[in-house]
Structure 1
């Protein structure tokens, strides 16, 4: 897939209906040979739209009109490229907890959570958020997550969590203003509600900071071994493994299958091999929610909706 193809697909499958600004930018970049040439000088893992757009927002660059966005990127390319090379798309979208909770609540309680690719660890607090699945609401919190549940039973109770730990190559410290600024820059421009929700989730996490460690996939077995005694270990990852080389990804999945407890994945359908999948509800970019390698539902990228798989 060319860089131009990446931007076309991002605009048509991810940004459309969610961010008209990013949809327009993606389309324009896909036809801009000079800007595509600059992106081509970056490593392949650093060419994706979310990373470029997040960096421009972090640098307070203009997003529109396109001529101003383009001039900013080209004129300040050394600074832009430097930030892109040092940053990683670490969107810590708490809305994805709405897809996790139906599975977490159905497992043997209490739970010891281990979040792989945890970013700032905000997804380690699923029981401290409230959820609205259509007419069904559970929990009370300063953070309420709305999720359309189609052909899937909403949870009746919140999970009981007795320990939480996260691992990331670059865990973000929610007490660090630069880390918080980066998390906010990764939220799409029209989505002020997500930005407000992020700030409220940060306040919740700051009152009870989780254990976050710097490390890679090989740290997970040790975290499982150290999970709270008497609790069910649950390892999960959401929109993370696409950043990992296929061979390393496959080896990690095999490790997860052998570990005690349970494994939850929310990844794009081509990232984790879950066998043959039924057709998705539409042609937008959807992830697959799976428990121990068994697909359960299609999930929208930020947890806005889950569609049960029969």
Structure 2
């Protein structure tokens, strides 16, 4: 996801067109159709402009619409339902946030986690900012299959309840896949509004955030709920910049602290993003030795983008980086790892 720019009708239309053509195209034909049609629909654009700028993202709007019964199909039927029930839909948009909790991203994050584990030779203490329900805090629990272009596969299989239940699939192109799953000694998440998978309303919202055409992700939510019930993570409610220092102080001494995030910082204003980066970098050079794993759109972190001048800022996917150094291009839901040019 690129930076969110939805100010004014022109910016909003452009944002929805980009979502249709780059993010949803080839992944969710329904959402690609809805977003493209929204961009050209004066009445719907007018409704969206009534929302605060940070509440106009397609995935947030469409998820709220589905919670209120908008049919997943042709835009004409969806549009009529959206307009008719706009008051209820907009209320949900204002109450909720985009909190996609895709376990598939673990497959790409593990490229960095495995490297840290090999370097530190200690269990990792994971702190995810923008953790949602916390499904991304279990890289030691999900089976992962990395498949090269020639068809050769590397499968990492942990022990535990998910070994035979759900496998994360990730294509690798020009990247050597990890050969190990990290040992995790402590896990915690920070979120403005952590979701509770034992709560029906929260679970319904998390499921509504799954795009049409990607229903396999629903099975991951169900499987992840088993992990959370067995070994609940520590979830802290609050602003990531306000809570990070407090959570870092609780990391066990015998572990390596790792702060990570995926598709989160795009939702913050630029000054808040920089404040977060400054905090993490300061902790990294301190005696705590905090490691930083980011998985964000290219334009979200300017210092990382500056190291990749030949990369297309509008291209689909994220950039995975370790301590501010780019490692690979990644699929937005963990579908692939791709080597960077050069």
Q: Provide the TM-score with structure 1 as the length reference.
A: 0.96
Distance in 2 (CA, whole Å) between partners of 1:97 and 1:281 is 24
Distance in 2 (CA, whole Å) between partners of 1:284 and 1:270 is 10
Instruction: Report what 1:121 is aligned to.
Output: 134
Instruction: Report what 2:38 is aligned to.
Output: 29
1:80 to 57, 79, 89: 89
Instruction: Report what 2:218 is aligned to.
Output: 195
Q: Does 2:273 align with 1:264?
A: no
Distance in 2 (CA, whole Å) between partners of 1:95 and 1:308 is 19
Instruction: Report what 2:103 is aligned to.
Output: 94
Q: Is the 8 A contact 2:280 2:290 kept in 1?
A: no
- Structure 1 residues 13 and 118: CA distance shift in structure 2, 3 A: same
Instruction: Report what 1:166 is aligned to.
Output: 189
Secondary structure of 2:299's counterpart equals coil
Matching of residues 267-278 of structure 1 within 5 Å: 267-273=296-302, 274=304, 275-277=306-308
Distance in 2 (CA, whole Å) between partners of 1:271 and 1:283 is 12
Q: Does 2:248 align with 1:224?
A: yes
Structure 1 residue 179 displacement after superposition:
0.7
- CA RMSD of the aligned region, Å? 1.5
Instruction: Report what 1:287 is aligned to.
Output: 318
Distance in 1 (CA, whole Å) between partners of 2:314 and 2:262 is 20
- Structure 1 residues 281 and 3: CA distance shift in structure 2, 3 A: closer
Q: Provide the TM-score with structure 2 as the length reference.
A: 0.88
After alignment, is 222-231 or 80-89 more displaced?
A: 222-231
1:186-243, Cα deviation, whole Å (9 max, x unpaired) = 0011112111122112222221110001011221122112101210000001100011
- Structure 1 stretches of 4+ moved >2 Å: 278-284
Question: For structure 1, which runs of at least 5 residues remain unmatched after alignment?
Answer: none
Instruction: State the aligned residue count.
Output: 310
Question: For structure 2, which runs of at least 5 residues remain unmatched after alignment?
Answer: 6-10, 148-152, 284-288
Distance in 2 (CA, whole Å) between partners of 1:278 and 1:110 is 35
